[in-house]
Amino acid sequence: MLYDIFIGPFVQMVEMPDFFLQVLWEGFVAGILYALIALGFVLIFKASGVFNFAQGIMVVFAGLTLVGFYESGVPALLALLLTIGVMGALAYGIERFVMRPLVNQPDIILLMATIGLTYFLIGLGEFVFGGEPKRMIAEELGLPTGSTAFEMGERGLVILQHIDIAAAVIAILMVTALGIFFNKTRIGRALRAVADDHQAALSVGISLNQIWAIVWFAAGLVALATGIMWGARSDVSFALEIVAFKALPVLILGGFTSIPGAIIGGLIIGFGEKIGEIYWGGLVGGGIESWLAYIIALIFLLFRPQGLFGERIIERV
């Protein structure tokens, strides 16, 4: 038994390095995709201190809109632009009709509002696009398909899906851009100011309405990217919304306010899940993948509640 836990899996890893690398790659890709979802949450949380329950459905909604435009005969790239426009309109609508009337309410009220928003978007999405899963137009958008196999010495090979590589590159680009935006620009600084203190931000002349519209739009763009990447791997369907809950342990791990944290947290969860499932899953009859992330998150909550990179909770008068 002890051998199976502490030695066996590592022997396996060493004996079959190609398989191990394949598992690592799968973990990496899953991690990147979790990180993309978590990124959307972080954006909204940073600027309004609210956990945006609707981020998952925004991913689905963005994906469906994109496919919907394409299916109605619009060329793929134009459909992408139109979808960006729709996410912008959505951001404006959310700011105008949800956030603005609720300014200065306790965070819990805003959380409830985003839950309401979730159901609104589910209804709207089903009404407009129907409930069936749709195929993502990854190829039409110019994303690489296919795969490359790397030979590993004499036996076995590691297969890399091109779409996964693209996902990783896009995620890294987005994180870099967002990091610069938040820390170096005037609007980014204002976003962080709003996150700290709504009232004080108002008093120095920062327009909350403008800031919120911007941040929801940014979250919408992240949702669109996430929708494309997830959609390319499976289908675009409302079931994707569930995946968003995987972002929760990622956020607890990485910290709700940290963009790099979302990435690192995503990777830890991604690697942990895949490796745990393949090498240790057998011991408990498999299925580790679906709950391991939450256990890791729980342990983190006990010992480091602000996450790995979260802003320290400052309490002083």
Q: Is the dihedral of CA 271, 275, 280, 282 positive or negative?
A: positive
Q: Which residues contact 134 (CB under 8 A, 6 or more apart)?
A: 63, 64, 67, 68, 71, 231, 235, 236, 237
184 binds other proteins, rule: CB under 8 A: no
For residue 209, the minimal CB distance to other proteins (Å) is 9
- Record the tokens describing residue 43, joined without a space: 């954006």
Residues between 255 and 274 with contacts to other proteins, criterion CB under 8 A: 257
Q: Is the dihedral of CA 115, 119, 120, 122 positive or negative?
A: positive
d(CA 185, CA 16): 48
Strands (E), the chain: 147-151, 157-161
Closest CA to 43 of 259, 314, 285: 259
Q: Of the candidates 201, 222, 264, 268, which one interacts with other proteins according to CB under 8 A? A: 201
Q: Of the candidates 137, 158, 206, 218, which one interacts with other proteins according to CB under 8 A? A: 206
d(CA 224, CA 227): 5
Which residue, 302 or 314, has its beta carbon nearer to other proteins? Answer: 314
Which residue, 63 or 255, has its beta carbon nearer to other proteins? Answer: 255
Task: Judge whether 23 and 159 are in contact, CB under 8 Å.
Answer: no
Q: Of the candidates 27, 39, 52, 198, which one interacts with other proteins according to CB under 8 A? A: 198
Binding segment toward other proteins, per CB under 8 A, in 133-141, 166-174, 200-208, 264-272: 200-208
Residues between 97 and 156 with contacts to other proteins, criterion CB under 8 A: 103-104
Binding segment toward other proteins, per CB under 8 A, in 35-43, 182-190, 234-242, 274-282: 182-190
Which residue, 155 or 316, has its beta carbon nearer to other proteins? Answer: 316
Closest CA to 25 of 280, 275, 227: 275
For residue 310, the minimal CB distance to other proteins (Å) is 11
For residue 162, the minimal CB distance to other proteins (Å) is 40
Q: Which residues bind other proteins (CB under 8 A)?
A: 103-104, 186, 189-190, 192-193, 195-207, 257, 311, 314, 316-317
